[in-house]
Chain A
Amino acid sequence: MLCEWIDHQLFAVKDGAVLFGVDQGSLFFIDELTRDALSRWNIRPTLELDDVPMADREILEGLRDARFLAPSGARHRLETPEFDIAAIPLSTMVLEVAQDCNLACSYCYAQGGSYGRAVRLLEPETARQAVRKLVDDSGDKETVTLVIFGGEPLLNMAAVTAAVEEAHNLSREKGKRVFVSLTTNGTLLNPDIIEFLHQKRIAVAVSLDGPADLHDANRPDLNGYGSYTTITGNLTGLLQGATAAVAARVTLTPEQWPRIEEVFFHLLELGFHEVGIAPVSPVRRELLPNAEQEEALLQGFSALSRIFLKAAQANRLLPFTNLIDLLARLHLGQTKSVSCGAGYGYLAVDTEGGFYVCHRLVGDESFRVGTLDEGADPAEIRRALDSLTCGKQEMCSSCWARTLCSGGCHYENHLRENQLGLAPGGSCDFIRRWFQLGIEVYAELRRSGADEFLQRLGKRVKC
């Protein structure tokens, strides 16, 4: 049988290699003999299996069974499906309750919370209307997610309570679960608000960047004073008696990347249930990293991943959200044909009741895709998404990580390419190395028998 190779990527690990089936999302461990046979034979585009000497043929048959070799001419690569946006139910809404903020963070992508528009708060009635829209347009989804966002959402508790109340009423009425989360800078938390968050089981993400010196450099208030002490003073009450996860949402600038490990453990000690670390978006050219800084970021993630691995082997989950999410997807072998849910069931609503494809793109007219009154227009969503992904397919088609990444964050690409005028693909190398790190950690976990642990992780992303 004339066979040809199916797209794959090899990663060297102890005693052999991990073979990643790019289109399938499969991960196999292969021993050294198989790895050697693979490198002998995969330089040929096609091969006749019957002509291969017996010793190698058996190995190649194993690779054929694992779908790395297939009959020549069969169509192996899946075409990217064209989704019918109108048929996709709404599942997540990010609600901008306040386009205003009491902090002046150095790296803010929302121009001080206003998203480049007039400072404005969401009317409580509009908040209710938005939540109704989320539930009404959610089709057969049993669970929908409402993300209360800003600016600083706690500046507008009237809209927050209206949205949460509406969500609870509707979930009772319609038999759906409305999962509510809220992202805050933590400065305005008080006992009443904390009691409300606990009582309503709202998952809270607090933006806290690490130890005081580091956090205060990033997140001063409007008078230039640091916000660390205020926030940590409010944290005790929030964490005590929490009824849903309280996560730290960390943003670090390139010069802070060598301190990742220190930041992570500092936040764990403060009592956060999860810590997710985001490298800052280059909202200004000065925030673009150089090669050395990017290396430091990877080293930091790599060091944390090693610690995660050790803990996992003892069946303990180190709450490093970035890695947990990646491992969960790798465990299931999930592949993506679009980079994220923006426009595909995920929409943001601004304080004027306008729909945007993503919360990060709020305020930019070219990504406004409708209003609460008229609904989101599928044709407008398609137009906005096409403008963000235009020309990417060809570049991505030769990349082994395409089914894991599928083009990357729309907003990051928009910033780099359209606002800073950089060539596309500037962060691809970093993204690929991060996925490789995840694959290596996954393989080591799998091979050390952490099956139960991985199953638990898999449940996080199963839908």
Chain B
Amino acid sequence: MDKKKRIEALNEKAHAIEALAGGEMKSVEALEEGGMLKMPVGCTSIYDTGWETNPRATNPVGNCQPSSHDYLGCAGDCWWPAQNPDGMTNYLDLELTCSSIIRDWRDIK
């Protein structure tokens, strides 16, 4: 029997405490070492392509996702929403108003 079954939260306060403990474990998950390759989750405020490399066997192999959008001009399926406005739903005319994201980002409304 695992420890979850050995100790069972009964009232709402106990459930809240349990959720708190679960949250504590998760807070270091993103950066922990070992196991499967984990990419940092979050966003960065600079366009410095370097260490956040593309882990998938897709182009550009070994390069980062944002840089691929710079090459291909597509932000539709971006997993990095903080850096690339999505061109499929919210910014349909992105390419017109903002042909170079680095230069024209102020034009994104």
Contact = CB atoms under 8 A, between A and B. Distances in A.
A406 to B, nearest CB: 16
Interface string B6-40: 11111111101110010000000000000000000
Contacts of A66: 7, 9, 14, 17-18, 21
A33 B10 contact: no
A27 B13 CA distance: 7
A309 interface: no
B10 A58 contact: no
Nearest to A37: B6
B1 A27 contact: no
A332 B10 contact: no
A19 B11 CA distance: 11
B5 interface: yes
Given A33-B6, A59-B6, A62-B3, A27 B17 contact: no
A77 B20 CA distance: 18
Contacts of A31: 1, 5-7
A331 interface: yes
B12 A332 contact: yes
Given A31-B1, A66-B21, A67-B17, A26 B11 contact: yes
Interface string B58-69: 000000000000
Looking at chain B's contact residues, is the secondary structure mostly helix, strand, loop, or mixed?
A: helix
A66 B6 CA distance: 11
Interface residues of A, number: 30
Given A65-B21, A66-B21, A26 B7 contact: no
A330 interface: yes
B8 A28 contact: yes
A330 B16 CA distance: 14
Nearest to B14: A26
Contacts of A19: 7
B3 A58 contact: yes
Contacts of B3: 58-59, 61-62
Nearest to A62: B3
Contacts, number: 78
Contacts of A154: none
A21 B9 CA distance: 11
A382 interface: no
Nearest to A25: B13
Contact of B11 (A27, A59, A62, A63): A27
Given A24-B17, A31-B1, A443 B6 contact: no
A446 interface: yes
Contacts of B21: 65-67
A24 B10 CA distance: 13
B1 to A, nearest CB: 7
Contacts of A446: 10-11
A144 interface: no
A316 B9 CA distance: 24
Given A66-B17, A66-B18, A28 B1 contact: no
Contacts of B1: 31, 33
Interface in A87-124: none
Nearest to B24: A65
Given A66-B9, A458-B12, 15 more contacts: A21-B14, A25-B11, A26-B11, A27-B11, A28-B14, A29-B8, A30-B7, A31-B1, A65-B18, A65-B21, A66-B14, A333-B14, A333-B16, A442-B10, A446-B11
27 contacts: A18-B10, A21-B13, A21-B17, A24-B13, A24-B17, A27-B9, A27-B14, A28-B9, A28-B10, A29-B8, A29-B10, A30-B8, A31-B6, A34-B6, A59-B3, A59-B6, A65-B18, A66-B7, A66-B14, A66-B17, A66-B18, A67-B17, A332-B12, A332-B13, A333-B12, A333-B16, A446-B10
Interface of B: 1, 3-14, 16-18, 21
